[in-house]
Amino acid sequence: MARTMYDKIWDAHLVDEQEDGTCLLYIDRHLVHEVTSPQAFEGLRLSGRQVRAPGKTLAVADHNVPTEGRANGIADEESRIQVETLEKNAKDFGVEYLEMMDIRQGVVHIVGPEQGFTLPGTTIVCGDSHTSTHGAFGALAHGIGTSEVEHVLATQTLIQTKAKNMKIEVNGTLPDHVTAKDIILAVIGEIGTAGGTGYVMEYTGEAIAALSMEGRMTVCNMSIEGGARAGLIAPDEKTFEYLKGRPRSPKGADWDAAVAYWKTLPTDEGAHFDKVVTLDASNLPPLLTWGTSPENVVSIEGVVPDPSKIEDAAMRTSVERALAYMGLEANTKMTDIKIDRAFIGSCTNGRIEDIREVAKIVKGKKVSDHVSAMVVPGSGLVKEQAEQEGLDKILIEAGFDWREPGCSMCLAMNADKLSEGERCASTSNRNFEGRQGRGGRTHLVSPEMAAAAAIAGHFVDVRKV
C-alpha cells in the first residue's frame, strides 16, 4: 500500500502496538535543555533509574543564557541554578553537554542540525514545542512534556497514538523578498492555530523544494503554531549536501547506506492524505501579524482588522481583546505602525542565511533613532560564520547590537525582554500576550521585514526598499 513519509517513519519505529491502538515508538534522538528537564532527571533519581541511551541524548542550555557579558557567568540566580542543574544532570547520567562557552552552544534546534545529530528518517524529541524544526530533514520530530522527557530518558521510547496525515502543497515561485517565513505565516493564516491539531503536516510543492535547508527549517519550525506537533519535508540532494561531513553525520560506507535508505523515505505516489491544503507562493506578499495569535496574519499592504465587521461573537471579542492588548486601532495601515524594537534571531530565524539577508538590507544604513535593534545568532557556529563573512561589522555599523547565541527575546527568559507597551518587529514564532515581556507587543515578520522596519522606524514593504 502507498504510504506517506510519516507512515514510513512511524512504521520503522514501532516497538509495540496494543489492541486499543496505543503504540510504543522508538526514539532515535533526544535533545535536552535546561528548562524542561530538571524535573525529569529528578524523577529518574527518585525511582533509581538510568538514562537508557546516553549516546542518543544531547544536552545544551539555551533558554536562560545571557546574550552579553557571558564570560562573567549568569547574573540571575534562578537562571544560573537551572543551567548548572542541567550541567550536573548531564554529567551524572553520562549525557554529552555543550557548555555555554562552547562554540557549538546555541538554540537546541539550531545545534541539532549543525552537528548532524538531526538525520532523515529518525524520530527526534525534545521538551520544546519547536522540535518540529527538525522535520525539515525528513525526521519525525516533535515537542514533548517533561513527564515524557523522563519517559524517553528511561526507556528511549514514547507512548503515542498515530496522528493523521495532512499535505500542505506550496506551488509556484516565491517573489523577491518574500521568504520561507512568509510561507509559513500564510499557512497558519489559512488553517488557523488549531488547523493542524491531530495531524503531521508534510510540506510539498515546488516552492518548498526551492527553499534552502535554512528556509525549510523555518517552515517546519512553525508547524506547531498551526497546531501540528510535527512538520515534514522530504529529504533530497540539498538535505544530503547539508549533512555531509557534519560531526555526527554517518561516515564512509555508513554514509552511502544511509543516503540509500533516506532516498526511500519520500511519500509514495498515490498515498492517502486526510487533508490537503494548497497555496500559491507566486502571489504571496510579505506578511506580518497584527494580533496576539500567530494566525492573526495580514499582508504588509493591508490594514488592522475591524472587529465591528466580524459577525461571530466569540471571534469579535477575541479580536477586540487582541487589539486592546496590541494598542492598535482598527483599519490602521500596517505601514503606519511604528516600532520600538527589532529582534532578529530564535530557532525560527537565527541561522546564517537569515543574518545574511538582514545584512544585505541594512548595509550602509542606520537603525532609526527611536528603535533599539538586536541580532542574536542561533549558535556559536552561526556567529563565527557571520563574523568570518564580516556581517557583524555591517550590522554594528548600522546600529544593531550583535549578541551571543541563545533563545533570548523569543521568550524573554533571560535579560532580553520588552518593557510594557513596547512594540517589536520580531523574527521569532509567537506573538502571545506577554511572550516577549509583560505588556510587550510582538509582530511576527521575516528577517528582511524586521531589518527594513528597524531602519525605517515603522513597518515597510521590503519589496519597495
Partner 1 sequence: MDKFKKVDGVAAPLPILNVDTDMIIPKQFLKTIKRTGLGKNLFDEMRFTIDGDEIADFVLNKPQYRNAQILVAGDNFGCGSSREHAPWAIADFGIKVIISTSFADIFYNNCFKNGILPIKLSQGDVDKLMEDAERGANATVSVDLETQEIKGPDGGTIKFDVDAFRKHCLLEGLDDVGLTLQKEEKITAFESKRGAEQPWL
Q: Of 318 and 385, which CB lies nearer to partner 1 in the complex structure?
A: 318
Q: Of 78 and 336, which CB lies nearer to partner 1 in the complex structure?
A: 78
Chain residues 336-375 in contact with partner 1, contact rule CB under 8 A: none
Rounded Cα–Cα distance for residues 34 and 78 (Å): 11
Kindly calculate the radius of gyration of the chain based on its CA atoms and give it in whole angstroms. 21
> 57-60 and 140-143 as β-strands: parallel, antiparallel, unpaired?
unpaired
Distance of closest approach, residue 39 Cβ to partner 1, in angstroms: 5
Chain residues 65-84 in contact with partner 1, contact rule CB under 8 A: 76, 78-79, 81-82
- Binding segment for partner 1 (CB under 8 A), chosen from 44-52, 182-190, 373-381, 389-397, is 44-52
Distance of closest approach, residue 438 Cβ to partner 1, in angstroms: 6
Asked if 208 contacts 233 with a C-beta cutoff of 8 angstroms, the reply is: yes
Rounded Cα–Cα distance for residues 326 and 305 (Å): 12
Q: Of 94 and 421, which CB lies nearer to partner 1 in the complex structure?
A: 421
320 binds partner 1 (CB under 8 A): no
Q: Of 142 and 181, which CB lies nearer to partner 1 in the complex structure?
A: 142
Q: Of 267 and 436, which CB lies nearer to partner 1 in the complex structure?
A: 436
Q: Of 106 and 226, which CB lies nearer to partner 1 in the complex structure?
A: 226
> 23-26 and 157-160 as β-strands: parallel, antiparallel, unpaired?
antiparallel
Q: Of 397 and 420, which CB lies nearer to partner 1 in the complex structure?
A: 420
Chain residues 101-160 in contact with partner 1, contact rule CB under 8 A: 119, 122, 127-129, 142-148, 150-151, 154-157, 159
Distance of closest approach, residue 164 Cβ to partner 1, in angstroms: 11
Distance of closest approach, residue 90 Cβ to partner 1, in angstroms: 14
274 binds partner 1 (CB under 8 A): no
Distance of closest approach, residue 41 Cβ to partner 1, in angstroms: 9
Chain residues 278-297 in contact with partner 1, contact rule CB under 8 A: 293
Distance of closest approach, residue 48 Cβ to partner 1, in angstroms: 12
Chain residues 213-232 in contact with partner 1, contact rule CB under 8 A: 224, 227, 229
318 binds partner 1 (CB under 8 A): yes
Q: Of 24 and 303, which CB lies nearer to partner 1 in the complex structure?
A: 24
432 binds partner 1 (CB under 8 A): yes
Q: Which of 172, 175, 193, 465 touches partner 1 by CB under 8 A?
A: 193
Rounded Cα–Cα distance for residues 140 and 125 (Å): 8
Residue whose C-alpha is closest to residue 232's, from 347, 124, 114, 159: 124
> 372-375 and 441-444 as β-strands: parallel, antiparallel, unpaired?
unpaired
Q: Of 44 and 382, which CB lies nearer to partner 1 in the complex structure?
A: 44
Q: Of 118 and 379, which CB lies nearer to partner 1 in the complex structure?
A: 118
Q: Which of 111, 323, 412, 451 touches partner 1 by CB under 8 A?
A: 412
Q: Which of 197, 212, 299, 372 touches partner 1 by CB under 8 A?
A: 197
Rounded Cα–Cα distance for residues 449 and 444 (Å): 9
Rounded Cα–Cα distance for residues 227 and 201 (Å): 10
Chain residues 434-463 in contact with partner 1, contact rule CB under 8 A: 434-435, 438-439
Distance of closest approach, residue 136 Cβ to partner 1, in angstroms: 19
Q: Which of 70, 104, 321, 356 touches partner 1 by CB under 8 A?
A: 321
Cell numbers given for 135: 522535520
Asked if 66 contacts 404 with a C-beta cutoff of 8 angstroms, the reply is: yes
